[in-house]
Amino acid sequence: MAKFKVVVSDPETGQAQSVEVEGPKAAPIVGLRIGETFDGAVLGLPGYKLLITGGTDKDGFPMRPDVHGGVRKRIILTSGPGFKPRRKGERRRKMVRGNVITEDIVQVNVKIVEKPKKAKKRAKSEKKEKREKKAEESGETEEKEG
């Protein structure tokens, strides 16, 4: 049985939330690759389109988009994910995971690419309300000072 912790990031707000998926609900995610999109209904987010950006396996090794398959390999790296060089030109052989989601993957990182139309309208109206509140507050403070 596959069990994933899916971290859903929203690039507009900069916030992330974690969703745990296991059993038959996790089956549609198995076999997908980094860079593919899927429907958010799998995670309980109907109307959302999600893009897979990475993840880690059960031992904490990061997934890399340039390593094909669901295998774990030792490769020479010059930059991340999986390696942060300390000196210019430094290379190191590190263990990383391939770009395919298998049952060994524990965490999957995704970002929202497309929101449902209702949520977009709601977000715009919320922003408008915040602006109005700020205007009212600034108007109240000016009156008190004056």
Give residue 9's domain range: 3-67+98-115
Q: Are residues 108 and 130 in the same domain?
A: no
Asked if 107 and 37 sit in the same domain, the reply is yes
Looking at the structure of the chain, the number of domains it has is 2
61 with 123, same domain? Answer: no
Q: What's the pLDDT at 111?
A: 92
- Can you spell out the DSSP letters for 18-57? EEEEEGGGTTTTTT-BTT-EEEGGGGT-TT-EEEEEEEEE
Are 17 and 51 in a shared domain?
yes
- Could you give the CA distance from residue 4 to residue 2 in angstroms, rounded to a whole number? 7
- Kindly state whether residues 111 and 121 are assigned to the same domain: no
Mean pLDDT by 10 residues, the chain (146 residues): 86 89 86 89 86 90 88 85 88 89 90 78 69 76 50
Instruction: Assess whether 104 and 61 both reside in one domain.
Output: yes
> Domain check: are 41 and 108 in the same one?
yes
Residue 51: the pLDDT is 92
The pLDDT value recorded for residue 86 is: 92
72 in any annotated domain: no
Same domain, 140 and 107: no
106 and 124 within one domain: no
Residue 146's pLDDT is: 47
Same domain, 103 and 144: no
